[in-house]
Structure 1
Amino acid sequence: MAESTIWWLLAGGAIVAELVTGTFYLLMLALGFAAAALAAYAGGSTVLQTLVASVVGGGAVIVWHRVRSKHPKNLPASANPDVNLDIGETVQVDAWNADGTAQVHYRGANWTVLHRPGNVPAAGPHRVAEVIGNRLLVDKL
């Protein structure tokens, strides 16, 4: 079996493993394996192929790690406006109950709202900060 075929099989195995585990770093290693396969096609020695796989795959992992560490972590789905379109919407709270909840009419239905801990409940417009189950966590505007 040709050396390039072994590198392509390793690249394919890394891609399959990434699909199973969801680890994006395995795709970076697959890039290294593909680069080694190209080095094998070019007639490079086994040592050169291994070096190319290590440098390209390892370099891609390092670059991806740095890029990913510069971006902030995603919010949980309950507070992420890209996932939940209710985040950032305004609701009108007329009165708060003694237990810290209130009832509002929002999107054609009655919802239970909670104020964020540490805030004093007050009537008026509030912004939806998070959806917790079937309750809205709100901040005073």
Structure 2
Amino acid sequence: MALNGLIWWIAAGVLIVTELFTGTFYLLMIALGLLAGGIAFAVGLELHVQLGVAALVALVAVVLLRRSRFGSWKRRDASRDTAVNLDIGATVEVAQWHDRRARAMYRGAEWDVELAPGESEGARLYCITALEGSRLVVAAKR
């Protein structure tokens, strides 16, 4: 019968180690449920109660995680994220526009440049607001 109690702890350990590779915290919440099942076994509760305790603790933990700021991460638009694209915020000089598009030298290479919505072609210096593929989206530098 001691093997039954050990299974709770081994399963929780496997989920905790697996969680280290995913980084989502959901497996950790399920592992908390398994730990609660192991504690229920150690207290001497019957198997169906152990399973119920494990399921209830895991469910509550997952729901609480989902409602927290760690469980509701939103995907960011990488084309406008300064943590992903270090070029965002850099300055580009554009000499001539053709229908809101241009070619400009930036970092030693010629890039396609496009005006951001609502921007005009009147300025000479522009700030990069996004990268869409190999195209720089720019706004007039203020």
State TM-score, norm by structure 2.
0.74
- Note the C-alpha offset of 1:20: 8.9
Q: For 1:48-127, list aligned pairs within 5 A.
A: 48-68=49-69, 73-96=74-97, 98-127=98-127
- Note the C-alpha offset of 1:89: 1.9
CA distance in 2, matches of 1:30, 1:85: 38
Aligned 8 A contact 1:103 1:111 in 2? yes
Runs of 4+ in 1 over 4 A off after TM superposition: 12-24, 69-72
**Closer/same/farther in 2, CA of residues 71 and 121 from structure 1, 3 Å limit:** farther
**Hey, what does 1:5 align to over in structure 2?**
6
SS of match in other structure, 1:138: strand
RMSD of aligned residue pairs (Cα, Å) = 3.1
**Closer/same/farther in 2, CA of residues 72 and 12 from structure 1, 3 Å limit:** closer
Amino acid aligned to 1:123 = A
Name stretches of at least 5 consecutive residues in structure 2 with no aligned partner. Answer: none
Identity among equivalent pairs (%): 43
Residues 54-87 of structure 1 show CA distances to partners (whole Å, capped at 9, x for unaligned) of 2321121111111148866232222211111112
Aligned 8 A contact 1:11 1:31 in 2? yes
Name stretches of at least 5 consecutive residues in structure 1 with no aligned partner. Answer: none
Report the count of equivalent residues.
140
Choose 73-82 or 62-71, whichever is displaced more: 62-71
**Closer/same/farther in 2, CA of residues 54 and 71 from structure 1, 3 Å limit:** closer
CA distance in 2, matches of 1:102, 1:43: 75
CA distance in 2, matches of 1:135, 1:24: 36
**Hey, what does 2:41 align to over in structure 1?**
40
Choose 36-45 or 75-84, whichever is displaced more: 36-45
CA distance in 2, matches of 1:52, 1:72: 28
**Closer/same/farther in 2, CA of residues 83 and 62 from structure 1, 3 Å limit:** same
State TM-score, norm by structure 1.
0.75
CA distance in 1, matches of 2:115, 2:29: 45
